[in-house]
Amino acid sequence: MAKRSETAARLDDAARAGWLYYVAGRTQDEIAAAMGISRQSAQRLVSLAVAERLIKVRLDHPIAACLELASQLRRKFGLKHVEVVPSDSGSSATVGIAEAAAAEIERWLKRAEPIVLAVGTGRTLKAAVDQLPAIECPNHRIVSLTGNIAPDGSAAYYNVIFSMADAVKARHYPMPLPVLVTSAEERELLHGQQLVRSTLDMSAQADVTFVGIGELGIDGPLCVDGFLEKDEMMELMRGGAVGEICGWIFDVDGRLLDNPINERVASAPIPSRDTSMVIGLAKGKRKFKAIRAAIVGQQINALITDEETAEFLLRN
Amino acid sequence: MAKRSETAARLDDAARAGWLYYVAGRTQDEIAAAMGISRQSAQRLVSLAVAERLIKVRLDHPIAACLELASQLRRKFGLKHVEVVPSDSGSSATVGIAEAAAAEIERWLKRAEPIVLAVGTGRTLKAAVDQLPAIECPNHRIVSLTGNIAPDGSAAYYNVIFSMADAVKARHYPMPLPVLVTSAEERELLHGQQLVRSTLDMSAQADVTFVGIGELGIDGPLCVDGFLEKDEMMELMRGGAVGEICGWIFDVDGRLLDNPINERVASAPIPSRDTSMVIGLAKGKRKFKAIRAAIVGQQINALITDEETAEFLLRN
DNA sequence: TCGTTTATTGAGTAATTGCCCATGAGCGAA
DNA sequence: TTCGCTCATGGGCAATTACTCAATAAACGA
């Protein structure tokens, strides 16, 4: 208990230091003097505030080039919504997209009328959810499309609904299932359970859905996270698979494949693109093919990506 | 026309640079390289983005609201220092303030150069002092503004300097006087004593002063602690009194009243607000008027309070 | 209780940033 | 064309910040 309150006190200090630094514009020296600590400690607190994501930065300006790309993408593929953020080749995979997606999630959650918001899985989505500020929206319901049990039986790390529950006060509905089950029959059985059934029904009514788009390959998330073995992956790719959303594997035209793996996917079906806004989050060269396939196959009807990817999609 | 689009293009670049700097976390050198400009130009763009408020920073922590309130109070009343702690309606009167005040006292006592720290009286101040850790600071002097003899002749409970002496190893100077004497003449006599004289002189040189702010009324500290009878209190309030600091009674404009009670107060005068940081500690609905009066009348020039009180002060 | 380990601190130092100023390009007026 | 003005530019430097490392303190386990 003492431990927790100490940590909390430290975060309090970090918040204070971060506020003084970023909002009040003081130097770390001044903060140190004001808080009665050394300059180094002040620096540490400021950087802690950033690391703990207490400090949220957002850019409030439509960059013309990005807007233009977004508009072209929307037209070319008939998408409902497109957001393009500046590319930054050097930085990690999720920078930019995560912030933009968090802002979009926030916009939905701030609506007055009750909505059902569905989330998939993936690193990008996790990063986006980590950017969310604390929001109270008891009217909304948040439902996970994918199971929260990893191959080794633990709770899956990238099951984002739990991270979301930390920040957002709303009713959350996780999916108490593994991501992949052993057979189509087992899936039927599990999906028949009352609790699972009602969660599946709710996900089908989602007003908006946020999903990551995964590429295939031995470096792709399905392999890295241990859902598939290398040889299974190779087999899939020989069968024409190029990407996945919530584990649902599709080919270069975005059609869900009729193969043994997809029969074992226990995730909810992606909500209808006619009634739900299904927003895909993805960027990067390795995902180009998967993103393109998801769009043309209408697995998604909205997209948040970066300039580089947007340009690729427009060229191809 | 060209002018407008040039400006827009510049803002666009600023937005891009600001994005790369704040969101992607790149250095200005890297931004310069990526955008094909000099580092100085990149710096200018980043600072333009800030100046044009394209970059919005926000702190996602409960402390943020408190800091914001503190900053507004400081500005509105020209205070030297304000600290606002989260309100917690459920808890007792001093929770939060006491911890914050203790931290502030500690900061002063940790200074290297010798200081004179003056303390008043009151439950809040007592609670704050009880929060102090053991500190050794032989260079500092701690002086009490108020007498340590209660109406019944015993040592007054809320004379905080003794509690302070338990925790803090420094030279302490209590005030060997009653809080109220029987007449102005007696006060003159007592204040003329060598020992009292030198303590009074020292208090006038205080670098920092911590005082509680008391409200009047038959439930207020002056009555509860037996310094004043109910009818004296009623008389005072009819005369416009709304609050007191160290027994010094002031009206709604924070002016010390010219009445028989104030003539009998044996406390040291509140140290000069020009040369001393005089920090008032108080919160709560019952004290609103007294706190406000103390601030506008410049009886204090710094404040530690809670959110609820801060909001009241900003509204009124 | 003692040794071991881990976390925290401040000093030192390298990296980064903010600011001033000289330079020169662009542009309008004489 | 030339002068004078404005303003963006980049060099240089001082201020500020980030990082490394060794010392110290605290926590932990035997």
Q: Is the pLDDT of residue A269 over 60?
A: yes
- Concatenate the DSSP letters of all residues of A162-208 into one string: HHHHHHEEEEEEEEEEESB-S-HHHHHHHHTSHHHHHHHHHHHT-SE
3-state secondary structure of B291: helix
pLDDT digits (tens, 9 = 90+) for B261-295: 888 898 999 999 999 999 999 999 999 999 999 99
Mean pLDDT along residues A276-305 = 95
Partner residue facing B59 (CB), from A23, A95, A99: A23
Cα angle B41, B42, B43; round to 5: 90
Interface residue of A57, A130, A135, A168 to substitute, partner B, most B CBs within 10 Å? A57
Closest residue of chain B to A100, computed from CA coordinates: B23
Mean pLDDT, chain A, rounded, equals 88
Indicate yes or no: CB of A64 within 8 angstroms of CB of B107: no
pTM: 0.78
Query: Residues with Cβ < 8 Å from A189, sequence gap 6 or more?
Result: none
A47 touches strand D (CB under 7 A): yes
Q: What is the pLDDT of residue A288?
A: 94
Q: Is the pLDDT of residue B4 over 60?
A: no
Interface residue of B7, B11, B23, B56 to substitute, partner A, most A CBs within 10 Å? B23
Q: Is the pLDDT of residue A3 over 50?
A: no
Burial (CB < 10 A; 0-12, 13-18, 19+), residue B275, is exposed
At CB < 8 Å, which residues of chain A contact B?
A: 11-12, 15-16, 18-20, 22-24, 35-36, 49, 53-65, 85-86, 88, 90-91, 95-96, 99, 133-134
Q: What is the pLDDT of residue A229?
A: 86
A27 touches strand C (CB under 7 A): no
How far A75 CA sits from the closest chain B CA (Å)?
A: 23
C-alpha–C-alpha distance, residues B57 and A20, integer Å:
12
> Chain B contacts of A18, Cβ < 8 Å?
59, 61
Between A2 and B313, where is the model more confident? B313
Q: What is the pLDDT of residue B80?
A: 94
Indicate yes or no: CB of B23 within 8 angstroms of CB of A64: no
Mean pLDDT along residues A77-94 = 81
A40 touches strand D (CB under 7 A): yes
Indicate yes or no: CB of A61 within 8 angstroms of CB of B24: no
Q: What is the pLDDT of residue B92?
A: 57
How far A199 CA sits from the closest chain B CA (Å)?
A: 31
C-alpha–C-alpha distance, residues B160 and B137, integer Å:
18
B225: left (phi over 0), alpha (psi -120 to 50) or beta: alpha
3-state secondary structure of B219: coil
Partner residue facing A55 (CB), from B16, B57, B63: B57
Q: Is the pLDDT of residue A148 over 80?
A: no
Q: Is the pLDDT of residue B43 over 80?
A: yes
Q: Is the pLDDT of residue B2 over 50?
A: no
User: What is the pLDDT confidence band of residue B25, given thresholds at 50, 70 and 90?
Assistant: confident
How far B65 CA sits from the closest chain A CA (Å)?
A: 10
Give strand C nucleotides closer than 7 A to any protein Cβ: 9-12, 15-20
How far A30 CA sits from the closest chain B CA (Å)?
A: 14
Chain centre to alpha carbon of residue A49: 22
**Start-to-end CA span in chain B (Å):** 48
pLDDT digits (tens, 9 = 90+) for B84-123: 988 765 555 666 788 889 888 988 888 878 899 999 988 8
Q: What is the pLDDT of residue A107?
A: 87
- Concatenate the DSSP letters of all residues of A15-78 into one string: HHHHIIIIIS---HHHHHHHHTS-HHHHHHHHHHHHHTT-EEEEE-S--HHHHHHHHHHHHHHT
CA of A65 to C1' of C25 (A): 28
- Closest nucleotide to residue A7 (Cα to C1')? C7
Pairs of residues, one from chain A and one from chain B, whose beta carbons lie less than 8 Å apart: 108
Give strand D nucleotides closer than 7 A to any protein Cβ: 8-12, 15-20
Q: What is the pLDDT of residue B294?
A: 96
Most confident stretch, A94-98, A167-171, B128-132: A167-171
CB neighbours of residue B149 within 10 Å: 20
User: What is the pLDDT confidence band of residue A94, given thresholds at 50, 70 and 90?
Assistant: confident
Interface residue of B20, B105, B108, B113 to substitute, partner A, most A CBs within 10 Å? B20
Burial (CB < 10 A; 0-12, 13-18, 19+), residue B283, is buried
β partners of residue B294: none
C-alpha–C-alpha distance, residues B132 and B130, integer Å:
5
C-alpha–C-alpha distance, residues B224 and B218, integer Å:
7
pLDDT digits (tens, 9 = 90+) for B145-182: 998 776 666 666 677 888 888 888 888 998 888 888 88
pLDDT digits (tens, 9 = 90+) for A115-145: 999 999 988 999 899 888 888 899 999 999 9
Indicate yes or no: CB of B59 within 8 angstroms of CB of A58: no
User: What is the pLDDT confidence band of residue A6, given thresholds at 50, 70 and 90?
Assistant: low
Indicate yes or no: CB of B23 within 8 angstroms of CB of A54: no
How far A81 CA sits from the closest chain B CA (Å)?
A: 22
In this complex, the residue with its CA at the shortest distance from the C1' of nucleotide D11 is B40
Between A151 and B301, where is the model more confident? B301
Q: Which of residues 42-71 of B touch strand D (CB under 7 A)?
A: 44
Between B72 and A87, where is the model more confident? B72
C-alpha–C-alpha distance, residues B60 and B57, integer Å:
10
Share of chain A above pLDDT 90, in %: 52
Most confident stretch, A194-208, B141-155, B222-236: A194-208
C-alpha–C-alpha distance, residues B90 and B101, integer Å:
20
User: What is the pLDDT confidence band of residue B183, given thresholds at 50, 70 and 90?
Assistant: confident
Structure tokens at B238: 């009819």
